[in-house]
Structures are given as C-alpha cells and as structure tokens.
A = this chain, B = another copy of it.
C-alpha cells in the first residue's frame, strides 16, 4: 500500500478505531432505544431482555457479516480493476496516455509538462498500472486479513455497546424500575464514547460527545413514543 511521507500528521484514526466506532455507534443507540421504547409499552423486564438480546445478536451478526462481505467485495473489485488496467496498459497504451494527460489537465498541466512522466510510465508498466488504480480510480491495494478483522471488531463493539442499556433490566423484574438506571447508564456511555470518538476523529471531543448523546436520545424518544402509541 503506498503511504505518503507524512500520513501521521493527518492521522484521523486507524481502521480498528473506525470499526469500533461503526459497531459501537449503533450498538449503544439501537438496543438502548429498543429497551426504552419497550419500557413504555410492557411491564415485564424479561421481555425487554429477550428483545434486547435478540436485537444485539441480530445487529452484531448483520453488521459484522455485512462488514466482512463489503471488505471482501472491495478486494474483488480491486482485483478486477487491476486486471483491467493491466490489459489496457498493454493493449491500448495510447488511450491510457490520453487518460493520464486528461487527468493532469484538470490540474492545469499540459501535455508537454507530463511528457517525462508518461515516458517513465511506458518503461515501467507495473508502476503505471498502480498509478492508474490509485489516481484514476481511487483504489488502494486491500489488506487480505482486513475483512475478518473488521467483521470481528465491529461485532464485538456492537455487543459491548448493546449490553450497556440492557444491564439494569437483568436486575429487576419491572421495566419502570429499570428504565431510569438504563437511561442514566447509557447517557454516560454515549457521552464517553462520543468524547473518545471525537478525540480520535475530528478532534472536537466535546461537540462529538454532545452529538452522540443527541442521536441516542432522539432514537430512544422516537422508539418510546411509537411503542406507547401502539400499545
């Protein structure tokens, strides 16, 4: 994978951080909203626990396996485009030259200014192919182990997030007694998660904490209202 000289300076969170964020954003929000929503409609904690665990199982599998299949299909897409560019560079090099020229023309460079670059590419077709993939198509060579690693990270983060709002429902049989502790516990978890996420991504931790709490709160309020309406 080609890395630019000062990637670290522009660091916005590695793949693991990104996968934890993907899994935990939904894991903290949806099971929480479901538990809060059901608490407005049913009295027995057992039903909330059953529905909550069913949701966490379904959500973690859907997201983890979905992430796995998406990463694998990205890898296949890369392989297909690699084969296509290789063929084109060999069979229709003049068309590829025109593409490179058209491409630099967007940045104000004329044919004479890129002539040396094209000469160099003609001599090393493998480098030319790699260049086309990254700069024409925006594709990076995928890491073959990434699909599985992403799937597991996303699923585990979803489960970890999803168990937080359900915890209080394990310790009491009445949903009305579990609701407030669940809301409080999840609010703290959402703020904390949003804060850490902000630190690793945009750098604006406070705003991220607030936004994460608002998304979770809105989802829970909508679920609560709708469940009340239908019960």
Contact = CB atoms under 8 A, between A and B. Distances in A.
A201 B73 contact: yes
Contacts of A227: 50-51, 53-54
Contacts of A120: 107-110, 113
A109 to B, nearest CB: 5
Contacts of A109: 116-117, 120, 127
Number of copies: 2
Contacts of A134: 135
Interface range on chain A (Cβ under 8 Å from partner): 35 or more
A206 to B, nearest CB: 14
B113 A58 contact: no
Among the interface residues A38, A110, A219, which one has the most CB atoms of the partner chain B within 10 A?
A: A219
Interface of A: 2, 4-6, 10, 12, 25-26, 29-30, 32-34, 37-38, 41-42, 46-47, 49-51, 53-55, 57-59, 61-63, 65-66, 69, 73, 76-77, 81, 98-99, 102-104, 106-110, 112-117, 119-121, 124, 127-128, 130-131, 134-138, 140, 201-202, 211, 215-216, 218-220, 222-227, 230-231
The 5 closest A-B pairs by CB, nearest first: A33-B58, A37-B54, A54-B223, A29-B62, A108-B127
17 contacts: A4-B99, A5-B103, A10-B137, A29-B62, A37-B50, A41-B54, A49-B230, A50-B227, A50-B231, A53-B227, A62-B216, A62-B219, A73-B202, A107-B121, A110-B120, A114-B117, A134-B135
